[in-house]
Amino acid sequence: MAAQSKLAEVAFNCTCQEFIHPWTKSCACATAGMLLSLIPGTFRTYSMVYMLALIMRMRIPSLKDLRNTLSSILQSTAFLSLNGSLFILAICLVRQFLGGFYFGTAAWLPALLVSSLSLAVERPERRAPLAMYVANVGVETLWKMLEARGLVRSIPNGQVFIMGVSLTAFMYLYRAGLHKTVAKDATFKALGLIMGKEEEGPFNTPPVNNSQRSRPLRLNIRCITSHLQIYDQMMTLKHSCCPHKAGCAFYALLGGLKPFLGGVGLQVGLKLLLNIPKILQFKMQWRQQIFNKGSLQLGLALGIFSLLYKLTSCGLRHSFGYDKAVFAIPAGLIGSIGLLHFPNTTVSLYLMWKSLQLLYNWGVSQEKVPEVPNFSLIMYGFFTAVLCHSTVLEARSMRPSYFKFIQNISGGRLSRFNLKSFEAFGVQSQDQANQVIKKLGIVMSSPNPLFPLIV
């Protein structure tokens, strides 16, 4: 107990210079150096993002488009650069105000104080997507932190369950026609391409006359003509309330084939795009990169989901004699079996947050849930604080790609933080950081980061 108390005293008495800027005594110089380091990296990042968005419009940009793109790049660069530099300043100020470092004030509290303020600099239409992004990464990080403490335990294919429930919520909103009113989102455009316009609501179900139902044919299974009649009936049989023109079986089969081919094409196209340098150098390993089972994963997931969804929907319409948006719930859950071929955590969490956002908007419009002012700012602030805490003190819980991104745009500062004083917190922060740095192959060729501003 005495040893633990001494370690806690060391952590509390650790100075901000020992912790985050050992190369300079001045907190102001550390903040300014961080700002200068962030500007080039964030400018490159947002230049690529906005230029790609400009190209995706598939038209020659006008002078106004170019001006708006440049303005957006500069504004987003200012936002992220300000966020990172103020984070350093906030760590120093919080320590001076409290007199030392606690577990929650070494990174989490400073990030919480400055992140929402920084987001106000970003364009209003970008705030909600940014909040969704950090919430996506933040939930995954928070889960890993809790899992490392033994408080939670992952279940097999848990991400598939999340993806299935989220897609089911999307399909219900799509079938109910709410995507045209209170739940507008670009995600439904992609959903329309995958599932087809036939499943788009709202529907006007025609009255069903049960007396007009055709009697079953008497068939001789030994006769070829009977087999042809069975095939023809399967391909043309549809309920009067089904929104499609072709038979239900043909509609479901074609509805599964199109997403399958589209998913395979998309996955192969992305692999080709990411391997352009190898292709130009004739070093592409086609069999390992393209012609493998991995190229079928997305196509199988989308194809089977669409096939089972449409089969279930048509079956429910035949059984009940009418069509309702609520049929999307059992159809979506059954279709989720196909998602076992694509167990992607990132996509699952994105769909979860997006579906929760749309359901929340619907609930607000119906006055079922209260509207929280500045909810995007609050969500961004909380999960950014979680990410900053994990990146600094619990690096193993952070996505390696995110850790490397912060390391690069900060001018190599992240790997130079001195975390030895925080051993009292019991999470082995320095060991975690060293393991991630070694795993990512980060080499510090200089004792100082970019723009050290030593005084």
Phi, psi of 288 (to 5 degrees): -75, -35
Averaged pLDDT for residues 188-206: 80
Distances (CA, A) of 80 to 150, 353, 406: 34, 22, 11
* Residue 139 counted as domain residue: yes
At 182 the pLDDT is 86
Q: Of all residues in the chain, what percent are helix, strand and coil, respectively (each to 5)?
A: 70, 0, 30
Confirm if 172 and 328 have CB atoms less than 8 A apart: yes
**Residue 327 carries which DSSP code?**
G
Distance CA(310)–CA(328), nearest Å, equals: 9
Q: Are residues 57 and 108 in the same domain?
A: yes
Lowest mean pLDDT among 129-133, 268-272, 284-288, 426-430: 284-288
Residues 429, 330: one domain?
Answer: no
Q: How confident is the model at residue 213 (pLDDT cuts 50, 70, 90)?
A: very low
**Position 276 in a domain:** yes
**Measured torsion, CA atoms of residues 408, 414, 416, 420, in degrees rounded to the nearest 10:** -160
Whether residue 327 is contained in a domain is answered as: yes
- What pLDDT score does 301 carry? 94
Domain membership of residue 24 (yes or no) is yes
pLDDT of amino acid 218: 55
Is residue 27 situated within a structural domain? yes
Mean pLDDT for 246-266 is 89
Contacts of 7 (CB under 8 A, 6+ apart): 423, 424
What's the pLDDT at 438?
93
Q: What is the mean pLDDT of the chain?
A: 86
Give the model's pLDDT for residue 245: 83
Give the residue from 324, 342, 360 where a domain finishes: 342
Cα 374 to Cα 42, 83, 127, 133, 135, distances in angstroms: 25, 18, 10, 16, 15
Is the residue at 228 inside a domain? yes
- The span from the CA of 347 to the CA of 159, in Å, is 9
Residue with tokens 């044919």: 217
| Entry pTM | 0.84
Residue 212 pLDDT? 42
Q: Which domain holds residue 125?
A: 2-155+377-440
Residues of the chain with pLDDT > 90: what percent? Answer: 51
Q: Could you give the C-alpha distances from 370 to 76, 179, 185, 363, 366, in angstroms and in order?
A: 31, 21, 21, 8, 10
Residues 105 and 33 in one domain: yes
Q: Are 411 and 282 in a shared domain?
A: no
Q: How confident is the model at residue 360 (pLDDT cuts 50, 70, 90)?
A: very high
Q: Reply yes or no on whether the pLDDT at 232 is more than 70.
A: no
Angstrom distances, CA of residue 157 to CA of 52, 273, 358, 397: 33, 29, 25, 19
Distance CA(379)–CA(135), nearest Å, equals: 7
Same domain, 50 and 191: no
SS3 321: coil
| Confidence band of 84 (pLDDT split at 50, 70, 90) | very high
* C-alpha dihedral, 271 to 138 to 386 to 425, nearest 10°: -80
Q: Which two structure tokens, joined as six digits, stand for 85?
A: 């530099």
Considering its fold, how many domains does the chain have in total? Answer: 2
Is there a single domain that holds both residue 241 and residue 309?
Answer: yes
| Tokens 């050992």 belong to residue | 22
Neighbours of 58 (CB within 10 A): 5
Higher pLDDT, 224 or 152: 152
Alpha-carbon distance 64 to 82, whole Å? 27
pLDDT at 12: 81
Give the pLDDT score at 205: 54
Higher-pLDDT residue of 429 and 271 is 429
Tell me the CB-side half-sphere exposure of residue 59, using CA atoms within 13 A: 6
CB 384 within 8 A of CB 111: yes
Are 151 and 7 within one domain? yes
- Residue ending a domain, among 342, 359, 388, is 342
Instruction: Decide if pLDDT at 78 tops 80.
Output: yes
Banded model confidence at residue 224, pLDDT cuts 50, 70, 90: low
pLDDT confidence tier of residue 417, bands split at 50, 70 and 90? very high
Q: Same domain, yes or no, for 291 and 412? A: no
Which are the contacts of 85, defined by CB distance < 8 A and separation ≥ 6?
31, 32, 34, 35, 38
Q: Give percent of the chain with pLDDT exceeding 70.
A: 90
CA distance 104 to 95: 11
Residues 59, 123: one domain?
A: yes
Do 324 and 401 reside in the same domain of the chain? no
pLDDT of residue 6: 57
160 in a domain, yes or no? no
Q: Which of 53-62, 179-188, 365-374, 382-391 has the lowest mean pLDDT?
A: 53-62
pLDDT band at 237 (very low <50, low <70, confident <90, very high): confident
Average pLDDT (282-305) is 82
Q: Are 266 and 405 in a shared domain?
A: no
Rounded distance between C-alpha atoms, residue 106 and residue 419, angstroms: 10
pLDDT computed for residue 33 by the predictor: 94
258, exposed or middle or buried, with CB in 10 Å at 0-12, 13-18, 19+? middle
Model confidence band, residue 1 (pLDDT cutoffs 50, 70, 90): very low
Query: What whole-number distance in Å separates Cα of residue 181 and Cα of residue 186?
Result: 13
Cα 108 to Cα 122: distance, rounded to the nearest angstrom:
21
How large is the average pLDDT for residues 131-158? Answer: 92
Domain boundary among 342, 366, 397: 342
Read off the tokens for 86: 């103020």
Collect all residues with Cβ–Cβ distance below 8 Å to 289 and sequence separation of at least 6: 271, 275
| Top mean-pLDDT range of 241-245, 309-313, 319-323 | 309-313
Tell me which of 13 and 76 has the higher pLDDT.
Answer: 76
Is residue 417 included in any domain, yes or no? yes
Q: Are residues 107 and 195 in the same domain?
A: no
**Whether pLDDT at 56 is above 80:** no
230 contacts 217 by C-beta, under 8 angstroms: no
Write out the two tokens for 297. Answer: 């994963």
